[in-house]
Amino acid sequence: MAEHSFLFREGLWRVEGEFLDGVGSRVDVEGEAAIRHYPDKWIYEGTLRTRASKPAEHKTLYEIQPFAAGNFATAWTSRSATLGTLHGRFLVVGDAILSAYESATARYRGQDTILRRDERHYSARGALFDGGRLISAWAVELTLGT
């Protein structure tokens, strides 16, 4: 199993890539993802901004249960003004950190695959659905700050 730095170490990651809406329109995005560790939880706080004529900003805050020693999976929770409370799990499988999640009402569901390129670089791909309808998909690169 690859040793992971994303999530498992505190740090500030730069995020760049693209989002696609449900009809395939693309928009470039950039932002940051900050990882902080506390004894009882890990915090993943992300901000993404669109590079568009009318920029928009989206903030996310995850509370992650720290991985237990020898365990490859853990739970997380996030709250969103538009999606409500999301519950998910991170699973470490080789060079990937997988995440599957759904809203408390089960209306919204999604998945993320975060692939380790090296200690300072990851690639993330994911999608969010409203029932069977695609809301958005993304392809972003994460680079650990210095």
Is residue 81 over pLDDT 90? no
The percent of residues above 70 in pLDDT, for the chain, comes to: 98
Residue 2, pLDDT score? 56
Can you tell me the distance from the alpha carbon of 139 to that of 146, in angstroms, rounded to the nearest whole number?
A: 23
Can you tell me the distance from the alpha carbon of 96 to that of 113, in angstroms, rounded to the nearest whole number?
A: 7
Residue 24, pLDDT score? 86
Mean pLDDT value of segment 3-17:
95
Mean pLDDT value of segment 80-94:
91
Predicted confidence band at 1 (pLDDT cuts at 50, 70, 90)? very low
pTM of this prediction?
0.92
